[in-house]
Chains A and B, each alone.
Chain A
């Protein structure tokens, strides 16, 4: 098999398109690159969707966390504490075990049967957990940013007669995003790294359709040689990190467009850490 044929056969293997059987012997470098790269589709899927959805929930949580009323504040505080204070790994387990307990045949509400089996699949269940998790982490970032908005900005807004919703939408929210954006960029990178946990914890991969780590692990197990597949997946993740940094950097530049050159906040990459 030439390398081009390998890419045709395995390029979309992780979503079930192409050759059914994974290579069993005579592993070539091309096969490893192709399959691990095809697994990255799942990492991208989890990361992108969880980030997009999580962004909105994070904003809501950050606002309710900074509210005066304890009815709004306490639930948000607890949500953030629970999701930031426990390992993502355990959260995946917990979610999976809960979802498995749902009745197989579906739940009947007002005569309509709601199917439940799809929730135990990784594409839905794991995505939901990642969505809640990233929302909690991002909420903490946005909450911190909300509290560090310069007092002068708010007073200036009030002096101009901008109050209420207008003040929030035109002054507070853009400033919050601008201040929180560098940390949020790091959070996005963490989240992409955390997507490798999905198939490693409880969600099973059906028909050997897994993420990049699933295939890297497959090759490492089969060849007893970790020195090829793991550096390959590392290579892919470095590329992904660069891409995320680039995209978020562009947004950061837009958020900072009215700030004097020397006061713009720059994105500094922090080390990647386990959640």
Chain B
């Protein structure tokens, strides 16, 4: 992309390194870091919302909602999550295509599950066979996000259910004694107080979410692991920038990225925890009150 890099074979030393690190493939590699960050930025709120709904449903008065919520929470126990990831992506993909099959395929179209194969008519393919590579990538990424959100939503639901149970009963009963309705107690007393109990579990979950992002690679998204393998593999002289097998260096780079993310998150979550403990009826909150007084 730079004029000096027009002929990579003739340059060497620092210029070579500079040109190598700014080649088109490398720019894609840097973008893929953004993909990972974007996944985190979308999944975290989505999982939080799903978890909140799951936890609320699990402690609801109505039996169907309670069963639904409890099932959702129980879903993640006892089964390795990687199996969920593999299962959900295929199941979601087939489900979406089946629904579209019902809507757009001509009426004589065969049933999609034929023996060993799943095949829908051409119009029902998601995304359409004729659409650009960008849409294929976007669709893969969206499936990954939904899967992550569902799986992590279940974890978050479990944490938040516990946190809701941990809010002292006396607080809720006092609110009721003041004449608040169920919804008011939930909104004004339970929800503001539950966060401090949920935070240790949720911050643990955030750390795990960071560490789960390389699974994107397994889901077929071109993420940092994909590029690290691509770029690091040894390149013969037919490539613009021939080099030996450098995958180890690239993976050390990834390792540093993840460790930095962990370290940064630890700092931020520590501060958040201190902030949320302020004025709470917990040991940490009491310690802060004493220190202030």
What residue of chain A has the Cβ atom nearest to residue B244's Cβ? A101
A204-218 vs B, Cβ < 8 Å mask (1 yes, 0 no): 000000000100110
Q: What CA separation (Å) do A274 and B209 show in the bound complex?
A: 8
Q: What CA separation (Å) do A234 and B87 show in the bound complex?
A: 11
Query: Across the interface, do B116 and A223 meet the contact criterion of CB distance under 8 Å?
Result: yes
Chain A residues whose C-beta falls within 8 Å of the C-beta of B81 in the assembled complex: 193, 272-274
Query: Across the interface, do A94 and B252 meet the contact criterion of CB distance under 8 Å?
Result: yes
Select one of B80, B90, B154, B258 contacting A226, CB under 8 A: B90
Chain B residues whose C-beta falls within 8 Å of the C-beta of A271 in the assembled complex: 76-77, 154-155, 158
B201-233 vs A, Cβ < 8 Å mask (1 yes, 0 no): 000110010011111011000000100000010
A190-234 vs B, Cβ < 8 Å mask (1 yes, 0 no): 000110110010000000000001001100101111110010011
Chain B residues whose C-beta falls within 8 Å of the C-beta of A97 in the assembled complex: 232, 245, 247-248, 251
CB distance from A274 to the nearest CB of B (A): 4
| Interface-facing stretch out of A68-76, A83-91, A111-119, A158-166 | A83-91
Q: What CA separation (Å) do A97 and B158 show in the bound complex?
A: 37
Query: Across the interface, do A241 and B78 meet the contact criterion of CB distance under 8 Å?
Result: yes
Query: Across the interface, do A237 and B211 meet the contact criterion of CB distance under 8 Å?
Result: no
With A82-B259, A87-B212, A101-B248 known to touch, is A226 a contact of B79 (CB < 8 Å)? Answer: no
Contact of A81 with B by CB under 8 A: yes
Contact of B111 with A by CB under 8 A: no
CB distance from A46 to the nearest CB of B (A): 13
Q: What CA separation (Å) do A93 and B83 show in the bound complex?
A: 20
Chain A residues numbered 133-152 whose CB sits less than 8 Å from any CB in chain B? none
With A85-B258, A85-B263 known to touch, is A94 a contact of B83 (CB < 8 Å)? Answer: no
Select one of A85, A94, A98, A196 contacting B82, CB under 8 A: A196
Select one of B117, B213, B245 contacting A101, CB under 8 A: B245
Contact of B272 with A by CB under 8 A: no
CB distance from A83 to the nearest CB of B (A): 10
Query: Across the interface, do B218 and A200 meet the contact criterion of CB distance under 8 Å?
Result: yes
What residue of chain A has the Cβ atom nearest to residue B261's Cβ? A85
Q: What CA separation (Å) do A269 and B50 show in the bound complex?
A: 22
Query: Across the interface, do B76 and A90 meet the contact criterion of CB distance under 8 Å?
Result: no
Q: What is the interface of chain A, defined by CB distance below 8 A to chain B?
A: 81-82, 84-91, 93-94, 97-98, 100-101, 193-194, 196-197, 200, 213, 216-217, 220, 222-227, 230, 233-234, 237-238, 241, 269, 271-275
If A82-B259, A90-B251, A269-B77 are given as contacts, then 19 extra A-B residue pairs at C-beta distance below 8 Å, sorted by A number, are: A86-B258, A87-B211, A87-B214, A90-B254, A91-B255, A93-B251, A94-B248, A97-B232, A98-B248, A196-B80, A217-B86, A226-B91, A238-B78, A238-B79, A272-B78, A273-B81, A274-B82, A274-B208, A275-B208
Q: Offer 16 A-B interface pairs, CB within 8 angstroms, sorted by A.
A: A85-B262, A86-B258, A89-B214, A90-B258, A193-B79, A193-B82, A213-B80, A225-B118, A226-B90, A230-B83, A234-B78, A237-B78, A238-B78, A238-B79, A273-B81, A274-B212
